[in-house]
Amino acid sequence: MEEIPPEALRHFVNANIVSKKQAVLAKKEASELSKALSDKADYIVFLKGAAYSVTDNPASLGRVYSDIDLLVPKNNLENIEQYLCVVGWKHHSLDDYDEMYYRKWAHEIPPMQHGSRGTVLDIHHNLVPVISGKSINIQAFVKDYGTAYNNITVLCEPAMFFHSAIHLFFNEDMSSAFRDMTDLYLLSSSQSEQFFHDVMAITEKYGFRKECILAFHLLSIHFNISLPNVTASLVSVELERVSSLELLLLQRLTLPKHILICDGERGFSLWLGELRGHWMKMPIGTLAFHLSMKSYRNVMKLIFGQHVFIKENGNRA
C-alpha cells in the first residue's frame, strides 16, 4: 500500500469501503428475500455476486453490485412477481418487444427495482435462455448442487464456477468479461484438484463443457492458473474443436477494457463478441428476425423518441 501514490490510494481506499458496505447490504437483502419468498417457491437460490458475499467466497473480495441474482422455479414466477410488486418492487418501462423477449425467450423476467432502497433484482428460472434450446433441468441441478449457508441457499463452489463460465462464454454481452474472468480466478485459484474434477463432472451431466474448457484455458493464459494433469489433458483435447479465431477473440475480450490495451479496437471486438453470443443463443431464423426488429425499432426510436413502443398503460408492475 505504501508504494501507491496518495492521489491513487484514496480511490483504492474508497473502493474498499464501498465494496464492504455493499457486501453487508447484499447479505441483508439475501436474508430478507429468502425469508419473504421461502413459502412461495420450491427453492430460492442466490447466484453470482450475492452468493459470493453470502458465503464469504474469495470472489466477493472487492465486489460491487449492479443487481442481485436469484433462481426460482418457472412455475412459481408469477406468484413471486405479484408478491414483490405488492411489497414495493417494480419493473422499469420496457417497450413491447423487449417485454416479449424476456417473457417468451429469455431465462429471466424483466429486472425489478425496490421503490425506496433502489436494489435491482434479476429473477431467473434457468441458467440459459429458453430460445437457445439448451436450457437444463434446473430442478435436478438445484437438487444436485444447491447448498444452504446461514439459511440462504446458494450453489456449491464447483457449480458456482460452472454457472459463471456459462454466464461469460454463453453470452453476447462481453463488456464485463474481465470482471467475470476475475470471478473465475478467485473461485478456482485456491481449490484442490478435486474441484476441477467436480466441475468437469457437472459438464458430463448438464452439458456446457466447451464453456468450462474455455474458462480453464483462459485462466491458464491470463492468470497462470496451474491445471491438474487430467484437466489439462481434457482442455487440450477439447480445444482442438474450437476455432483459433474464436479463441483469439475470446482471449482479447477477456482482457481489461482500456484503450491502452485495446488499441482502439474495443468496439469492433465487442461487436464480434455480441454476434457470436446471439449466434449461440438463437436459431438462425429467430436471430434474423430479432436483429431486423431491433434495427427497425432503433431507427424508429431515433426518429420518434425512446418511448414510441411503450404502451400507454405501461408494462406490468
pLDDT tens column, 13-56 = 999 999 999 999 999 999 999 999 999 999 999 999 999 999 99
Which DSSP string do the residues of 205-222 spell out, in sequence order?
HH--HHHHHHHHHHHHHH
Which pLDDT does position 92 carry in this prediction?
A: 84
pTM of the predicted model as reported, rounded to 2 decimal places: 0.91
Instruction: Assign domain 20-155 to a CATH class.
Output: alpha beta
Which pLDDT does position 26 carry in this prediction?
A: 92
Closest CA to 282 of 157, 139, 100, 128: 128
Q: Where are the domains of the chain?
A: 20-155, 157-308
Question: 264 to each of 52, 179, 180, 269, how far by Cα in Å?
Answer: 34, 20, 22, 10
Which pLDDT does position 130 carry in this prediction?
A: 92
Render pLDDT for 110-158 as a digit per residue (tens, 0 to 9): 999 999 888 999 999 999 999 999 999 999 999 999 999 989 999 999 9
Question: What is the rounded CA–CA span in Å between residue 210 and residue 242?
Answer: 8
Question: How many other CB atoms sit within 10 Å of the CB of residue 8?
Answer: 9
- Edge-to-edge strand list for the sheet holding 89-91: 89-91, 112-114, 120-124, 68-71, 45-47, 152-155, 146-149
Percent of the chain with pLDDT strictly greater than 70: 96
Strands (E), the chain: 45-47, 68-71, 89-91, 112-114, 120-124, 146-149, 152-155
Which pLDDT does position 259 carry in this prediction?
A: 73
List Cβ neighbours of 258 (8 Å cut-off, separation of 6 or more).
none
Mean pLDDT score of the chain: 91
3 state DSSP class of 254 = coil
pLDDT average, residue stretch 168-192: 94
pLDDT-derived band at 261 (thresholds 50, 70, 90) equals: low
pLDDT-derived band at 264 (thresholds 50, 70, 90) equals: low
pLDDT value at 260 more than 90: no
